[in-house]
């Protein structure tokens, strides 16, 4: 099969080289990097697919002037985002009640290519694409997602970058704000001729202390576009990302939060996270005819994540203390005792993938239909070491853990869309996949003669998963711009490799995460002033894997299957052009946008967990970090002279921080209710048309709302306070 994939790619590439001479493509040309091809929406994953979808444009991004991508994702119905450090360096997305920790239940892509550490074995988002250089965002939650993968449970998120430039231009964006925030973005687009273009961007962003985090980020990205001939296009993309921050897992105890004056205290100032990512991709499109095309992607990226974190304990009698204590020592587990030692969690991840997708349009009963057939291969590898430092700020330490994790996955899909009548479109598809993985333990702690000892070994354990993932959808077009849709698909995600095989080489019978997902809804436009989408959904998990990583507040060791859950709810979103509705002849703009989600995610079968000396059945309890509702609304008013403002409001309902659905918080702050909160943002901007520039002033969290965003990984995280940012952008 590997040879077959290589043959497909080499065949179409050779066809393009020996085809006609270089010339501009015809009108059917569209940009590459897409998951689904439609010339009306370049790079899009949501063109002509069944189910609930949504997108945000480059104009939306410019109006909001987001500090992080979290602000934009909150504008999608059904998408819950948990802030970690407040600036979006690590995105935590949960869709339709799924746990948002590290976005594990969501497939995250950039121009159709995965971005997580290891998409199958460790789909965490320790790296997130920089929102500053994006031209759009897309979210797909319906049955159309089955042709991607490996995750097909919550949905697919696609970051969009700029396509083939149509002219030469230079954009410079400068931002400055609270916490010594500074950001410089330079983007150069060059149209060399009708056949060659290039986009290049470089960004440098830093802050001394924004909330509790200080950081420096450098991001470089370039895309080369080549029209090889009338039938073939080629894109090469290269990216480099470098981050240094004082990110930490340690959070506030409940007693510290109640005092109200230690929200952004740097309890472990020596903590240091370094992330570096190199990525490269080659995308090739060959058009056999106007109705048949073949696209191939080859990509590779490597991500290093080295994290130095000081050890601490909630126990007063803990050894090797520095003498620094936070919190209330008179309350059990109400204080944090810092230790004079640290740990270096050094990890490197490598990913290589290639895929070919054939797209063919044909007539069925004399009506337009379309079939997509594809095959995909992905290889991934993780190198992990842990070194224990002998001081709280040690730069290295004694090697205590060393291992290599490897995975190989291959999948194939068929996705067919048939126009049954002029108004009814039926879509059905299936994906077959196989994932082989193993864990090679080179050094770890083992029990030898009743004593824990660090042992060098060469212990290898592995397993494999094969799955069939079907899905189907139906669209009934009431009018040209209004449709009713319904869909069903199988949700699937392979078990996280470190949970499926223990550090002692024991293979757990940890099943894949599986569900059956149903949805029905309607979307459309009404009289040129209203666009809308309303969706009801029902997700029944046969097995949901409960996170055990340190980032999710767990121990980081293996776990049994989490059990059955049900996620059900309603999503509603609309955009209203108020002046068009009032039939005003004013040249001003007045737009209102709103989305609202109600979600009930709960355990629907008996499941007992230990609580002190007793076992408690959590059947009917809500799943953690699944708010009962979340709602965002925005109002944009712009005068003909170019002066405008945007007001945004975000409301998040109460949610539980643990499976027991504890109301009263624990003293260490890690369990208990997270109260509902609201955040208001305001932007004022002025478009200086004479020099093709825009000046924007933003205030995030205008009312300075104090709220808890999370009780994990290891204590309370408080949302960012009021932040002011000024941005100047100019195009030459």
Q: What is the DSSP string of 410-464?
A: EEEEEEEEEESSSSEEEEEEEEEEEEEEEEEEEEEEEEETTEEEEEEEEEEEEEE
DSSP conformational letter for 306: E
Q: Which residues pair with 553 in a beta bridge?
A: none
**64 three-class SS:** helix
Q: Which residues pair with 361 in a beta bridge?
A: 370
DSSP 474-533: EEEEEETTEEEEEEEEEEEEPPPHHHHB-TT--B---PPEEEEEEEEEEEEEETTTEEEE
- C-alpha distances in Å from residue 47, one per residue of 37, 113, 138, 323, 648: 7, 17, 11, 59, 28
Query: Domain coordinates of the chain in residue numbers?
Result: 2-731
Over the Cα atoms of the chain, what is R_g? 26
- pTM of the predicted structure, to 2 decimals: 0.90
3.40.50.620, 3.50.50.60, 1.10.3720.10, 2.40.170.20: CATH of 2-731: 2.40.170.20
Rounded Cα–Cα distance for residues 202 and 355 (Å): 29
DSSP conformational letter for 112: T
> Under a CB-based contact definition with an 8 Å cutoff, are residues 621 and 659 in contact?
yes
Query: Residue 16 has what pLDDT?
Result: 38
Q: Which residues of 661-694 are buried (b: 16+ CB within 10 A; e: fewer)?
A: bbeebbbbbbbbbbeebebbbebebbbeeeeeeb
- Residue 283 tokens read as 């995308």
Phi and psi of 689, rounded to 5°? -65, -30
Query: Residue 437 has what pLDDT?
Result: 92
- Residue 181 tokens read as 């925030």
> Under a CB-based contact definition with an 8 Å cutoff, are residues 143 and 51 in contact?
yes
Rounded Cα–Cα distance for residues 721 and 40 (Å): 41
Cβ atoms < 10 Å from Cβ of 573: 22
Query: Residue 659 has what pLDDT?
Result: 87
SS (H, E, C) 255-285: HHHHHCCCCCCCCCCCCEEEEEEEEEEEEEE
Q: Which residues are within 8 A (CB) of 9 and not within 5 positions of it... i.e. 6 or more apart?
A: 284, 296, 298, 354, 356
DSSP conformational letter for 178: G
Query: Residue 508 has what pLDDT?
Result: 66
Q: What angle do CA 299, 185, 54 make, to 5 degrees?
A: 60
**In 288-334, beta strands by DSSP E:** 292-313, 321-327
- Closest by Cα among 75, 222, 217, 193 to 138: 75
Low-confidence ranges of the chain (pLDDT < 70): 1-49, 508-511, 543-563
Q: What angle do CA 302, 402, 243 make, to 5 degrees?
A: 35
Rounded Cα–Cα distance for residues 649 and 113 (Å): 32
Query: Residue 510 has what pLDDT?
Result: 66
């Amino acid at each position: 099969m590997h040879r077959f994939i290589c043959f497909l790619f080499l065949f179409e590439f050779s066809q393009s080289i020996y085809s006609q001479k270089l010339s501009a493509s015809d009108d059917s040309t569209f940009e590459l990097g897409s998951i689904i091809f439609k010339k009306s929406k370049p790079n899009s994953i949501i063109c002509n697919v069944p189910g609930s979808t949504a997108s945000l444009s480059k104009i939306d991004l410019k109006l909001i002037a987001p500090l992080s991508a979290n602000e934009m994702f909150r504008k999608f119905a059904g998408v819950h985002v948990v802030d970690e450090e407040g600036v979006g360096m690590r995105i935590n997305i949960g869709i339709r009640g799924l746990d948002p920790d590290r976005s594990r239940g969501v497939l995250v892509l950039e121009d159709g290519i995965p971005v997580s550490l290891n998409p199958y074995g460790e789909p965490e988002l320790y790296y997130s694409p920089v929102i500053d250089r994006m031209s759009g965002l897309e979210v797909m939650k319906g049955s159309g997602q089955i042709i991607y993968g490996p995750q097909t449970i919550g949905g697919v998120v696609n970051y969009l970058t700029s396509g083939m430039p149509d002219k030469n231009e230079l954009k410079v964006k400068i931002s400055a704000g609270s916490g010594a925030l500074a950001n410089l973005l330079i983007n150069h687009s060059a149209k060399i001729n009708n056949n060659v273009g290039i986009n290049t961007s470089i960004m440098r962003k830093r802050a001394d202390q924004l909330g509790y985090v200080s950081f420096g980020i450098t991001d470089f990205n370039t895309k080369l576009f080549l029209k090889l001939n009338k039938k073939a296009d080629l894109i090469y993309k290269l990216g480099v990302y470098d981050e240094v921050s004082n990110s930490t897992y340690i959070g506030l105890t409940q007693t510290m939060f109640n005092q109200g004056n230690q929200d952004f205290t740097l309890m472990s100032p020596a903590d240091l996270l370094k992330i570096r990512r190199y990525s490269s991709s080659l995308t090739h499109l060959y058009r056999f005819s106007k109705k048949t095309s073949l696209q191939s992607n080859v990509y590779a990226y490597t991500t290093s994540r080295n994290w130095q974190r000081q050890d601490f304990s909630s126990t007063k009698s803990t050894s090797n203390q520095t003498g620094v204590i936070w919190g209330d020592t008179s309350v059990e587990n109400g204080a944090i005792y810092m230790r004079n030692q640290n740990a270096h969690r050094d990890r490197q991840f490598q990913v290589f993938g290639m895929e070919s997708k054939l797209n063919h349009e044909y007539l069925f009963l004399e009506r337009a239909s379309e079939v997509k057939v594809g095959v995909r291969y992905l290889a991934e590898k993780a190198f992990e070491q842990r070194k224990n430092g002998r001081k709280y700020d040690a730069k290295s330490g004694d090697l205590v853990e060393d291992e290599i994790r490897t995975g190989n996955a291959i999948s194939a899909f068929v996705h067919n869309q048939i126009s049954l009548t002029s108004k009814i479109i039926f879509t059905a598809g299936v994906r077959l996949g196989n994932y082989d993985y193993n864990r090679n333990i080179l050094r770890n702690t083992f029990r030898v003669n009743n004593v824990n000892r660090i042992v060098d070994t060469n212990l290898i354990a592995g397993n494999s998963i094969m799955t069939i993932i079907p899905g189907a959808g139906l669209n009934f077009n009431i009018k040209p711009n209004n449709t009713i849709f319904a869909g069903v698909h199988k949700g699937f995600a392979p078990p996280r490799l470190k949970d499926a095989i223990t550090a002692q080489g024991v293979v757990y019978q940890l099943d894949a995460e599986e569900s059956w997902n149903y949805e029905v809804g309607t979307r459309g436009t009404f009289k040129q002033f209203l666009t809308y989408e309303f969706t009801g959904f029902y997700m029944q998990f046969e097995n949901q894997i409960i996170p055990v990583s340190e980032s999710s507040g767990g121990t980081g060791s293996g776990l049994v299957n989490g059990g059955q859950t049900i996620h059900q709810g309603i999503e509603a979103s609309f955009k209203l052009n108020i002046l068009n509705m009032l039939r005003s002849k004013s040249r001003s703009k007045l737009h209102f946008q709103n989305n609202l989600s109600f979600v009930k995610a709960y355990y629907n079968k008996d499941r007992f967990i230990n609580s002190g000396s007793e076992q408690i059945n959590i059947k009917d309890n809500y799943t953690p970090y699944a708010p009962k509702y979340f709602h965002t609304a925005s109002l944009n008013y712009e005068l003909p002279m170019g002066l405008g403002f945007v007001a945004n409001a975000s409301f998040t309902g109460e949610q539980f921080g643990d499976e027991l659905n504890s109301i009263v918080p624990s003293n260490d702050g890690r369990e208990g209710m997270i109260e509902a909160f609201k955040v208001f943002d305001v932007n004022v901007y002025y478009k200086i048309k004479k020099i093709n520039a825009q000046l924007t002033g933003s205030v995030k969290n205008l009312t300075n709302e104090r709220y808890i965003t999370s009780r994990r990984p290891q204590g309370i995280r408080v949302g960012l306070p009021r932040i002011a940012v000024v941005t100047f952008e100019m195009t030459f």
